[in-house]
Structure 1
């Protein structure tokens, strides 16, 4: 529940600059926004990555009561001097014209080789709202995990 009464109309963008465009798109914004006590903030500079919607899929085998995860290299932990090989749910970013359900099914097959028996929505949330517009739709995908283990996925 929101208490402030403020919304998107209380934010004014004075300047938007594309800083970088590659795997990520980075923009720099100068904004002002309404204040809880009334009035308007002084100009603020904020950077944000701009990304298409993404999905995550918790793979669950209800017969075996098992969750299937994937192991992948991730740059963020590497830059933090942490183990960059993470166990994760299947995840991916949408392409133009794809529904999020189609993305989820495609990513499950690409990363695990599994076919999902049933795909159920769990939640929608912003992954890192202080620095990105990326919104993730989380699904639960029911699978047969009897062949889990080993190396799967696209080369």
Structure 2
């Protein structure tokens, strides 16, 4: 490819390919573990965001922002979680136009059931990295995320 496209940023393309491979493999493993519970990655990430919020609740718009999901998909996710009894949907006490999703006792139990079995695979994925390697990887991935954010923001400007 670099012969056909001499300007090809070969190292960056290889790094992107590795990130996609690693991310895809981790996502496949997570999805495999969530399937018996009738959840997928976006459902589980949303449940985790509600679970880990200080109030145990969040608005769909807040969740869209943090989960990087559109409003339509967040509605689908909320419907799945409500139907499963993992969260409740109610109007906000402060603003009746806003909807609030709150984790239920069953939702908390589900998180405590799903998470611990995932830990060994997470440990194995990073087993050969030192603490310093992990800090470096964290820093570098965050830098790439900022760069990507700035790209997407400049692409959406008129």
The TM tier, using the shorter chain, reads under 0.3
Q: When the two structures are superposed, what TM-score results if normalisation uses the length of structure 2?
A: 0.24
Higher RCO (Cα < 8 Å, 6 or more apart) = 1
Structure number having the greater helix percentage: 2
Structure number having the greater strand percentage: 1
